Structure 1
Amino acid sequence: MNFQTSRPNVSKIQRTGRFFGEFQLSAQFSGPVSLFHDRRLPDPAAPAGYAALIDAYKLPVSFPRRLSAIGTKHRIIDRDGWRLYTPRHAPEASLEGHLTFALKYEGLDLAVLKRLFLAVDEHDIEELVRRRPTGIYARRVWFLYEWLLGRKLELPAADKVSYVDAVDTDIQFGGAIRNSTRHRVRNNLPGTPEFCPLVFRSLALDEFMAQDWKERARAAVSEVPKDLLVRTAAFLLLKDSKSSHIIEGERAPQDRIQRWGRAIGEAGRVPLDEQEFLRLQAIVIGDERFVKLGFRREGGFVGVHDRDTQQPVPDHVSARHQDIARLMAGLIAFDHVAENGLDPIIAAAVLAFGFIYIHPFQDGNGRIHRYLIHHVLARRGFNPAGVHFPVSAAILDRISAYKGVLESYSTRLLPCVQWRATPNHNVEVLNDTADFYRFFDATPHAEFLYECVRQTIEHDLPNEANFLRSFDAFRAEVETIVDMPERTFNSLFGFLRQNNGALSKRARESEFSELTANEVTHVEEMYRRCFGTGE
């Protein structure tokens, strides 16, 4: 632990006897500090739970987004990425004490728990369970140990006591329940040991879910006539495809935009598997002369190269290529498991952002990442039939927030990844990082995606339907005074839209010189009546 300079670092586990309960942390550990690993506390306090365990065992993991500590005041304080609990919340200064505190108040951080379980002697966990065989936290620790490590401890099956949830659903969102009779634990983890990011409950997510956006989407669609809905849906597909290319910094030709739009329109029709991912990448890339299709066979990163040395300067280091096959198998399994448990938008956020952090392909990751949102929403029946929300367009409108969400984890992950530059100016990862892509806190990602879905339902869908209604009305009125081919009409509409409902002098004297002054005035009035002067 990084104490103040006047206090030595003495946060070590001290073995004082055979029994687990006697593995005490030093007395100084429980003292208040003002600085912890370069993170300043709001008030002097003693780090507790995951913060204490990571520091004491020197676990090579990123700290949770919010850390816990025991303060001196008799009220809980939430500020600056810390939650300061009262003295009465203080855990016993031991492995058991801080582990119990973490499960009780901080929820599950599977990456930390797995590294902790690898660091401790398995006999310590066995003794913890033997000491409290019916304890809800002891049984959760026992279950999580065996689930994460795939090892069976030398313990008999639990007595017939009441089941307890693996995920405390008052703190985090759980998935479908599968009972573990050995531990008397309800396994409601939403994924598998190969891929299981988690999402914390928050005021924002609880409010979103209470508003039932699935039903709101159906209500919005029901107000649109079927023939108009077909055209609206087609436009929204193209809008999403175009926006997805723009996010990647590409001005793609129309045929590529349409090809990817057709792919989005088919999202959710088949379950995900490796071949489906490879098919999607082939559609995205099109021309494979300069891109190696398939999963990466070398390192990968997101960032830039130094202008002078061409050395990589990563903002995010992707999963090791040796780990991609297992990580993607875990991600695919999560998609299947989550179908019966998680809220669709939360599941979509976990799947899509998990994919982009893994970054399995040399190119095409961004568009497939956003495609996966469509896949989950369609697969889970969230979208009204025939409609795919233009989520990429909503993301484009919030591009700064989108980048912030991506960085909410990647910036915390980067210091945990040891890498070196390769001769071809790529990166080679030197440590085991697979768990960092299996387990992460996807709360900011879920909140962001809910905001995007809300925009598509409240604004994009009705706005596009209203636009098409106005467009049809305007065209019908124009046809009452003059017949013109569709291309000419579209040109007329474009001029009016560009010039706030007025036909420019150049347009009146060239392309539409055949219109009389009265006809021009009439057309302009019709446009303003249909669209308003601000269109």
Structure 2
Amino acid sequence: MPSGQEVHFSGPRTIFQERRLPETATLAGYGALTDAYGLSVPLPRKLSATGNHHRIVEDDAWRILTPRHAPSADLDGHLTFALKYEGLDLAVLTRLFAATGPDAIAEIVRNKPTGSYARRIWFLYEWLTGSRLDLPDAKGGRYVPVVDPDQQFATEGENAPRYRVKNNLPGTKDFCPLVFRTRRLEEFIAMDLPGRARAVIADIPRDLLARTAAFLLLKDSRSSYAIEGERPPQDRIQRWGRAIGEAGRQPLDRDELLRLQRMVIGDARFIKLGFRDEGGFVGGHDRETRMPLPDHISARHEDLPSLTDGMIAFDQGASRHSDPVVSAAILAFGFVYIHPFEDGNGRLHRYLIHHVLAERGFNPPGMVFPVSAAILERIDEYRMVLESYSARLLPLIEWEPTEKFNVRVLNDTGDFYRFFDATPHAEFLYSCVQKTIEEDLPSETAFLHGYDAFRARIENIVEMPERTIDLLFRFLRQNGGTLSRRVRTNEFEALTDDEAARIEHAYEESFGSDG
């Protein structure tokens, strides 16, 4: 929008961009700014408006506030409302500042030179655009955080004297997704899941703990491939499992990402390794024309250097000063949206979860929580979480098919991958981590303890090699703790009736009636 052009904020309405409001209300904050300035940007997951009634109405998509919350119908009013009630949406702000130009922002600051919201807006303009406004340094006003830590996760931050604000943004302008402090996340944090994990393993013998860790590691590796619909040979699963077991030991940089991609792919004869030098998308092709049918379009390859540097800076900086699971969600889901490689992105995305948790000491030493297995069990929810952003992003990307039936992005989309709301991703990841600690870890430990007891009991009944005991166990488990007629007349025909009965009793003693 040309600088100086008059901006009109609309009145009451019932629908905005295909979203139906719970009642007739007037847009406020980011919704009003997006509408008035014609911004092409993913809308916030929840928009705000002000209604005619003196009570707050809220659903998944809207928050309708009272008339007394209504901002002045201008840029300053709606920007202040957004920062006060909606938190920071850096993607919207980036596009908004490009539309307003510098003069409109400078005017807000000149009118309220000591105002806390004006100074935050001033900082955000210069931080996001890299342009300096024609303003002298702030002379008054107490230091205020750029991110309201009661609304969104932030770092401790450092003072920015020019604006008299504390820059506590959890990232750089190359990569800074944000997460809201929801009641659900606060409940997860209050659980002290690392403490629970330590309590689970506290009384487990060292050898049993080592076997539990090895099994969970292999389970996670196998599940990560299964999520991608792949069934690789066992040696590749074990090799990737070893890589996961070493997560967090090496700092994240471009060379490390390339090394991990080579480990994931294995046979690269038909796959181009390294960072993409063309477009990318997730989806299929039309069966007749071979034209792309994207469900998600990856970041432009031209934006990969800055986005990759931003992720690395986040990993080495802000991620170490916020909640570990929240940081893991930001890095891992940011990576998978960017999709920097031709192949291997999904498994590397899940590796990054382990990288952050291990680096932060969230899981006990030598123990890997099988997060991929938890994701696999909740695969539909996992896809919904991915689509919670990609579905809002896709309509804003202008693209054309290439001669190789790939996509070529035609508009500037880099900010959409730098800045997004990772709240659903953090909540989902926390639920998966909770499951691995409260269910998978004790369940696997109990199983191995029961199996050891079962094997000892069998050895007191009949002499047989370990692999035969394992086969016997598998048959019992498949048949609810009893040996079938087929098994008794084939693989274990040498057993007497008394031995078979004692073996079935040993299984029940070891695993209970539910086996």
TM-score normalised according to structure 1 size: 0.94
Give 1:360-509 correspondences, 5 Å limit: 360-509=340-489
Counterpart of 1:199?
179
Aligned to 2:92: 112
Separation in 1, partners of 2:30, 2:69: 15
Q: Does residue 1:66 correspond to 2:46, yes or no?
A: yes
Q: Paired residue for 1:297?
A: 277
**1:27-69 C-alpha deviation (Å, 9 max, x unpaired):** xx35211111121111000111101111111111011000011
Matched, 1:223 2:203: yes
Distance 2:275 2:156 in 1: 30
What SS is found at the alignment partner of 1:340?
helix
Deviation, 1:334, is: 0.6
Tell me which residue corresponds to 2:221.
Answer: 241
Q: Does the aligned pair in 2 maintain the 1:175–1:340 contact within 8 Å?
A: no
- Verify the 8 A CA contact 1:390 1:456 in the aligned structure 2: yes
TM superposition shift of 1:156: 1.4
**Runs of 5+ unmatched residues, structure 1:** 1-11, 17-22
Judge conservation of contact 1:176–1:190 (CA < 8 Å) in 2. Answer: no
**Which letter does structure 2 place at the counterpart of 1:35?**
I
Equivalent-residue separation in structure 2 for 1:15 and 1:180 (angstroms): 30
**2:186 alignment partner, SS class:** helix
SS in 2 for 1:303: strand
CA contact (8 A) 2:12 2:25 kept: yes
Give the residue type in structure 2 aligned to 1:533.
S
Measure the CA separation in 2 of the matches of 1:160 and 1:126: 16
Q: Where does 1:141-290 land on structure 2 (aligned, <5 Å)?
A: 141-290=121-270
- Structure 1 residue 225: deviation in Å? 1.7
What whole-Å deviation, never above 9, does each CA across 1:209-250 have from its counterpart, x for those lacking one? 111112111111213221111000000000000100110001
Indicate conservation of the 8 Å contact 2:115/2:141, yes or no: no
**Root-mean-square deviation (Å):** 1.4
* Alignment partners' CA distance in 1, 2:60 and 2:44: 13
2:69 is equivalent to residue 101 of structure 1? no
Counterpart in the other structure of 2:71: 91
Aligned to 2:500: 520
Distance in structure 2 (CA, Å) of the matches to 1:52 and 1:160: 30
Q: Helix, strand or coil: the match of 1:237?
A: helix
2:108 maps to amino acid:
L
Residues 303-314 of structure 1: matches in 2 within 5 Å? Answer: 303-314=283-294
Task: Pick closer, same or farther for the CA change 1:297–1:30 going to 2, 3 Å.
Answer: closer
CA contact (8 A) 1:237 1:390 kept: yes
Q: Secondary structure at the match of 2:462?
A: coil
Contact 1:405 1:444 in 2 (8 A): yes
Task: Tell whether 2:107 aligns with 1:127.
Answer: yes
Query: 1:79, 1:496 → 2: CA distance?
Result: 51
Give the Cα–Cα distance (whole angstroms) in 2 for the partners of residues 217 and 153 of structure 1: 51
Aligned residues of 1:70 and 1:90 also touching (Cα < 8 A): yes
Question: Amino acid of the residue matched to residue 58 of structure 1?
Answer: G
Q: Which residue does the alignment assign to 1:45?
A: 25
Amino acid of the residue matched to residue 77 of structure 1?
Answer: V
Q: Tell me the percent identity.
A: 63
CA distance in 1: counterparts of 2:4 and 2:404, whole angstroms:
48
Q: Is the 8 A contact 1:42 1:80 kept in 2?
A: no
Decide whether the 8 Å contact of 1:13 with 1:56 is kept in 2: no
Structure 2, unpaired ranges of 5+: none
Deviates more, 1:258-267 or 1:143-152: 143-152
Tell me the CA shift for residue 121 of structure 1: 2.1
Q: Which residue of 1 aligns with 2:318?
A: 338
SS at match of 1:34: strand
**Which residue of the partner structure matches residue 139 of structure 1?**
119
Alpha-carbon separation, structure 2, partners of 1:292 and 1:334: 27
Q: Contact 2:10–2:36 (CA<8 Å) still a contact in 1?
A: no
Aligned residues of 2:223 and 2:376 also touching (Cα < 8 A): yes
Say if 2:50 and 2:66, in contact at 8 Å, map to a contact too: yes
Farther-moved stretch of structure 1 (220-229 vs 296-305): 220-229
Aligned partner of 2:364: which letter? P
The 2-side partners of 1:337 and 1:361 are apart by 24
Q: Choose from 36, 52, 55 the match for 1:75.
A: 55
Q: How far did 1:511 drift?
A: 1.6
Match in the other structure for 1:348: 328
Instruction: Compute the displacement of 1:79 (Å).
Output: 1.9
State the alpha-carbon separation in 2 of the partners of residues 162 and 435 from structure 1: 31
Could you say if the C-alpha distance between residues 412 and 339 of structure 1 is closer, same or farther in structure 2, counting changes exceeding 3 Å?
A: closer
Letter in structure 1 aligned against 2:88? L
The alpha carbon displacement at 1:15 in A equals 5.5
Q: C-alpha deviations, 1:485-516, integer Å up to 9, x for none?
A: 12111111111111111112222122212211
Counterpart amino acid of 2:250? V
Q: For 1:121, what is the secondary structure of its paired residue?
A: helix
CA shift at 1:283, angstroms? 0.3
CA contact (8 A) 2:2 2:99 kept: no
For 1:390 and 1:223, locate their aligned partners in 2 and report how far apart those are by CA, in whole Å.
Answer: 21
Cα pair 1:299 1:428 within 8 Å, conserved: yes
